[in-house]
Amino acid sequence: MASIPSTMKGVIIEKTGGTEVLQYKTDLPVPQPKEGEVLVKNEFLGINYIDTYFRSGLYPAPGFPYTLGREASGTIASLGSGSNFHGLKEGDHVVWMAEGGYAEYTVAPAEKTYKIPSGLSGKIAVAAFLQGLTALTLIRESHHVQKGDWVLVHAAAGGTGLWLVQLLKAVGAKAIGTASTEEKVEAAQKAGAEYVINYSREDVKSKVTELTGGKGCIAVFDGVGKTTFDLSLDCLARKGSLVSFGNASGAVPPVTIARLSPKNARLLRPTLFGYIATREEFEKYTGELFDYILKDGLDVKIHEVYPLSQVAKAHDDLEGRKTSGKLLLDPSR
Ligand code: NDP
């Protein structure tokens, strides 16, 4: 293992705001791992919508300066103190999920670090990781989707959306996707959606009603939030689950609980972190996700790999709805 430098490239924010608050630095201190932590030399960094929430202030950062980024692939450069590293050792090729991702090196808890199986590249592993796990836990835990179920997926050509569509197909469910452009419609169709509604020119509610024979969808996975909440409730079948799991268009305003009565509907607002809280859950779902790629041939669509120094462009593209699939950062550039 090459020696560990004292400084590194990284991106910090010192206040919340637009993409102008993202500061690219070349002299940040390399962090030191503490008990049960590993220091990882990052190879590819994953961008997630949640990064934009911390940047904008929708979600409060724990303090400043703050380093965005929740996942990366890389190589373990050193271990902290203690003995419980779940079998991980220096030199292992891993993916991790924690904080402080937009940097050349990150300290992550061993508890949330996973050795990448042979046959899978670090690029594909991290491109699949957080968004794939989100989709997998949503269809298992938020609403356990069954074969033959009609399910509505908003932003079906997005990073998480493409995973939802592929996994729904894999379990024999019928996904109806929504997307804003023809290019995105095609991407979601290729991923296995039964039908994809281009909501820029087609009415979502009418099409869902037609496709489901008037019944609606037994589950709606809605990561768009504010602008789609009412529509999602409208598209739900009796006894269905509205799984509101994100705020790409803004946070959903407070909801009157009585609105669930007409359909005996369930309403959930889950986070991935709540489904992979224990090592056992984390290992089980990550192993299963990687098997879907290695054994079942599920696709991992990468929109673009941006140099870390161009992180502002990556955020602009994601928030500007210009992307389909996963956005990665290369920490060496
Ligand atoms: P996406 O790749 O899905 O990008 C967001 C997409 O949302 C856009 O491409 C766009 O698709 C659609 N969209 C609709 N309205 C807007 C709007 N006003 N502004 C921006 N985008 C809009 O992102 P991710 O896969 O990273 O995340 C999707 C959602 O999942 C986010 O809300 C995120 O927070 C959530 N999430 C939640 C997790 C959890 O644990 N709860 C974990 C991971 C993700 P189109 O143009 O087709 O409408």
Q: Do residues 254 and 188 both lie within one domain?
A: yes
Q: How far away, in angstroms, is 35 Cα from ligand 1 center?
A: 35
Residue 306 falls within a domain, yes or no?
yes
Its domain, for residue 325, covers 7-115+301-330
Enumerate residues 6+ apart whose C-beta is below 8 A from 83.
none
Q: Do residues 93 and 141 both lie within one domain?
A: no
Distances (CA, A) of 37 to 22, 32, 67, 132: 26, 9, 17, 24
Residue 2 falls within a domain, yes or no?
no
Ligand 1 atom closest to residue 303's alpha carbon, by position in its atom list? 2
What is the pLDDT at residue 244?
98
Q: Do residues 136 and 83 both lie within one domain?
A: no
Mean pLDDT (whole number) for 92-116: 98
Q: How far away, in angstroms, is 160 Cα from ligand 1 center?
A: 7
Q: Do residues 111 and 137 both lie within one domain?
A: no
Distances (CA, A) of 290 to 112, 155, 197, 219: 15, 23, 29, 25
Q: How far away, in angstroms, is 165 Cα from ligand 1 center?
A: 14
Mean pLDDT (whole number) for 64-77: 98
The chain-wide mean pLDDT, for the chain, equals 98
Q: Do residues 263 and 139 both lie within one domain?
A: yes
What is the pLDDT at residue 112?
98
Tell me: the pLDDT tens digits for 209-218? 999 999 999 9
Examine the pLDDT at 2 and tell me if it is beyond 80: no
Q: What is the CATH number of the domain that holds 96?
A: 3.90.180.10
List, chain by chain if needed, residues with CB within 6 Å of any ligand 1 atom: 48-50, 131, 134, 155, 157-161, 179-180, 184, 223-224, 227, 245-249, 270-272, 318-319, 321, 323
Q: How far away, in angstroms, is 78 Cα from ligand 1 center?
A: 35
Distance CA 325, CA 189 (A): 13
Residue 182 falls within a domain, yes or no?
yes
Residue 217 falls within a domain, yes or no?
yes
Residue 292 falls within a domain, yes or no?
no
Q: Do residues 18 and 76 both lie within one domain?
A: yes
Q: Do residues 99 and 136 both lie within one domain?
A: no
Q: Do residues 139 and 35 both lie within one domain?
A: no
Residue with tokens 């607002």: 269
Domain boundary among 273, 293, 310: 273
Pocket test for ligand 1, best of 19, 50, 247 (most atoms within 8 A of CB): 50
Examine the pLDDT at 8 and tell me if it is beyond 80: yes
Q: Do residues 252 and 183 both lie within one domain?
A: yes
Return the number of other C-beta atoms located less than 10 Å from residue 210's C-beta.
Answer: 11
Ligand 1 atom closest to residue 324's alpha carbon, by position in its atom list? 2
Tell me: the pLDDT tens digits for 177-221? 999 999 999 999 999 999 999 999 999 999 999 999 999 999 999
Tell me: the pLDDT tens digits for 107-139? 999 999 999 999 999 999 999 999 999 999 999
Q: What is the CATH number of the domain that holds 179?
A: 3.40.50.720
What is the pLDDT at residue 243?
98
Ligand 1 atom closest to residue 249's alpha carbon, by position in its atom list? 18
Residue 167 falls within a domain, yes or no?
yes
The tally of domains found in the chain comes to 2
Q: Do residues 152 and 265 both lie within one domain?
A: yes
Ligand 1 atom closest to residue 323's alpha carbon, by position in its atom list? 9
What is the pLDDT at residue 67?
98
Q: Do residues 76 and 25 both lie within one domain?
A: yes
Q: How far away, in angstroms, is 245 Cα from ligand 1 center?
A: 9
Q: How far away, in angstroms, is 131 Cα from ligand 1 center?
A: 10
Tell me: the pLDDT tens digits for 231-262? 999 999 999 999 999 999 999 999 999 999 99
Which residue has a Cα nearest atom 14 of ligand 1? Answer: 224
Residue with tokens 């986070």: 271
Domain boundary among 258, 273, 288: 273
Ligand 1 atom closest to residue 156's alpha carbon, by position in its atom list? 47
Q: How far away, in angstroms, is 163 Cα from ligand 1 center?
A: 12
Q: Do residues 150 and 266 both lie within one domain?
A: yes
What is the pLDDT at residue 328?
98
CB-side neighbour CA atoms (13 Å) of 112: 20
Pocket test for ligand 1, best of 245, 268, 273, 276 (most atoms within 8 A of CB): 245
Q: E strand or H helix at 151, and its extent?
A: strand 150-153
Distance CA 63, CA 14 (A): 9
Residue 291 falls within a domain, yes or no?
no
Distance CA 30, CA 82 (A): 20
Residue 283 falls within a domain, yes or no?
no
Query: Which pLDDT band holds residue 77 (cuts at 50, 70, 90)?
Result: very high
Q: How far away, in angstroms, is 132 Cα from ligand 1 center?
A: 13
What is the pLDDT at residue 1?
59
